[in-house]
Amino acid sequence: MKGVEADFEKATEENPEFAESGAVMATPYEGIFVFGSQDPRSRVLTDLGFSLPADLDKVIGDEFGANISKERTDLLDTDAVVWIVSDPAQDEAGLHKNPLYADLDTVKQGREVYVKETGDYGNSVSFVTVLSLPYMLERLVPQLAAAVDGDTGTKVAQPAS
């Protein structure tokens, strides 16, 4: 456990911009499903220093996450949005068909992070265990750093699954 805590400390020390940034984790399940503050996936973001959208838990209620209406895509207009998807290219195209989402600064400035839900990386993000966290952080932290680096020309890379 101490090794994992050290991994988080190192990531936050090397990426101080995380503490000044907002992020949210979601999946395109039956529309847009957003994970709340009590979900382990969102806790990874807050443990890295990110803040979650202010109204997130108000919209989700006491659930670990919930589907949001197209009108609440504003919750996704953060410095980084992490998408857990089955097919990054296909799901990105589908998400961008929603004009309310496609018009967000997050999208226009290329601050989306896509994690393919299958494979080792996707499983590490979905199941968040003390054993999977080091593997996840090794891949997720560089993607998040690219998303929030302030340069819209930076492409958020897709790590191997």
Q: What is the pLDDT of residues 79-123, one digit of tens each?
A: 999 999 888 778 888 899 989 999 999 999 999 999 998 889 989
Q: What is the pLDDT of residue 152?
A: 82
Mean predicted confidence (pLDDT) in 74-78: 94
pLDDT on residue 154: 85
Share of the chain above pLDDT 70, in %: 98
pLDDT at res. 88 = 78
Check residue 1 and give its pLDDT. Answer: 65
pLDDT given at position 110:
92
pTM score, two decimals? 0.92
What does the alpha-carbon distance between residue 46 and residue 89 come to, in Å, rounded to a whole number?
A: 27
Which of 53-57, 80-84, 111-115, 151-155 shows the lowest mean pLDDT across its residues? Answer: 151-155
How many Cβ atoms from other residues are within 10 Å of residue 41's Cβ? 22
Q: DSSP string covering 13-82, please?
A: HH-GGGGG-BEEEEE-SSSEEEE-TTSHHHHHHHHTTPBPPTTHHHHHTTSSEEEE-GGGGGGG-SSEEE
pLDDT value of residue 161: 56
| Amino acid 118: pLDDT | 87
Q: Please provide the average confidence, as pLDDT, over all residues in the chain.
A: 91
